[in-house]
Amino acid sequence: MQKLALITGAKGGIGSAITERLVEDGYKVIATYYTGNYDCAKQWFDEKGFTSNQVALFELDVTDTTSCHERLAQLQETYGTVDVLVNNAGITRDTSFKKMTAAQWHDVINTNLNSLFNVTQPLFASMCEKGNGRIINISSVNGLKGQFGQTNYSAAKAGMIGFSKALAYEGARCGVTVNVVAPGYTGTPMVQAMRQDVLDAIVDTVPMKRLARPEEIAQAVAFLASDAGAYITGETLSVNGGLYMQ
Ligand code: CAA
């Protein structure tokens, strides 16, 4: 039977590569998009040439607890239990801490960290009941090492790692693994939006002297989702060209 994966922020740079990879691996992917962004999501779906057997677009505001619980309960009634959840949706609001507004702090914490509660809780119970599930959270090298101008983002991304380790203990007894993929600087619109001189200086500090390709992040996700990843839980897999070695 075709396995079901749900990816938040699926049409973003890394999300899109993960969607394509899991489709290649035979999954049906529920690709979530932010409320009101249907036209953009549909354009992405058409450009990628997905079929409705491969990908279903699904509106979800990952910051809204009540709506996530309701929408994801409906989703499971329609499609059954999700086998693989990839919490990928994320934003940046970079600025030095001195200049950071409360809105810039809360937007990033809500979208990148509180979303893990909102999206994972409604799906985790059914995974446990089924005795099988994979949860893969997309953090960042900057959650591990910190980054000038990203106190909000680094806090959220580090929080995702603590969340994953704690939930890994709860999932282990019922066949659900919980892991993190921590990408380095990746060739996506989010990174390409950075000031060129700042980005060049960062790439210069990467031992491999290049950005990651989104497919390289997707491969790590596919590995953790596959049978080969069955005995790995509570782990953080860095894909960062040697930028930060723990
Ligand atoms: N360490 C120490 N000091 C630094 C610094 C650093 N890394 N970066 C900047 N500074 C200093 C500057 O030298 C400057 O000092 P002076 O005032 O003495 O000249 C001061 O801080 C201000 O620097 P900027 O001119 O850069 O300030 P700005 O306000 O124009 O920009 C910023 C601030 C937007 C945060 C900018 O520094 C920046 O873009 N930083 C990089 C943030 C980053 O890496 N974002 C990643 C986005 S992609 C992503 O997040 C994906 C992922 O997971 C990897």
How many Cβ atoms sit within 10 Å of the Cβ of residue 64? 16
For residue 34, the SS3 value is coil
CB atoms within 10 A of CB 216: 18
Average pLDDT, rounded, for the chain:
97
Output the DSSP codes for 116-168: HHHHHHHHHHHHHHHT-EEEEEE--HHHHH--TT-HHHHHHHHHHHHHHHHHH
User: Whose Cα sits closest to atom 26 in ligand 1?
Assistant: 198
Q: Could you tell me the pLDDT band of residue 157, with boundaries at 50, 70 and 90? A: very high
CA of 184 to the centre of ligand 1 (A): 16
> Cα of 195 to ligand 1 centre, how many Å?
9
Percentages helix, strand, coil for the chain, rounded to the nearest 5?
A: 50, 15, 35
Average pLDDT estimate for 86-100: 98
In this model, does residue 38 exceed pLDDT 90? Answer: yes
Residue 71 in this model has a pLDDT that exceeds 90: yes
Residue 166 has pLDDT above 90, yes or no: yes
Tokens found for residue 228? 């080969």
Q: Are 184 and 238 in contact (CB under 8 A)?
A: yes
Nearest ligand 1 atom, CA 194: 39
Which of 93, 95, 96, 151 gets mutated to test ligand 1 (max ligand atoms within 8 A of its CB)? 96
Å from CA of 97 to ligand 1 middle: 11
Q: Is the pLDDT of residue 1 over 90?
A: no
Average pLDDT estimate for 188-197: 94
pLDDT of residue 246: 80
SS3 12: coil
CB 143 within 8 A of CB 154: yes
pLDDT tens-digit map of 17-30:
999 999 999 999 99
* CB-defined site of ligand 1, < 6 Å: 92, 94-96, 140-142, 147-150, 153, 185, 190-191, 194-195, 198, 202
Find where tokens 């930060």 sit.
Answer: 244
CATH H-level superfamily of 4-238: NAD(P)-binding Rossmann-like Domain (3.40.50.720)
191 CA: nearest ligand 1 atom: 48
Q: What is the pLDDT of residues 108-153, one digit of tens each?
A: 999 999 999 999 999 999 999 999 999 999 999 999 999 999 999 9
Give the pTM. Answer: 0.96
Instruction: Name which residue sits closest to atom 31 of ligand 1, judged by CA.
Output: 95
Identify the bridge partners of residue 4 per DSSP, sorted by sequence position.
28
According to the model, what pLDDT value does residue 51 have? 98
- Average the pLDDT over 154-173 and give the result: 98
Alpha carbon nearest to ligand 1 atom 35, residue: 149
In angstroms, how far is CA 243 from the centroid of its own chain? 20
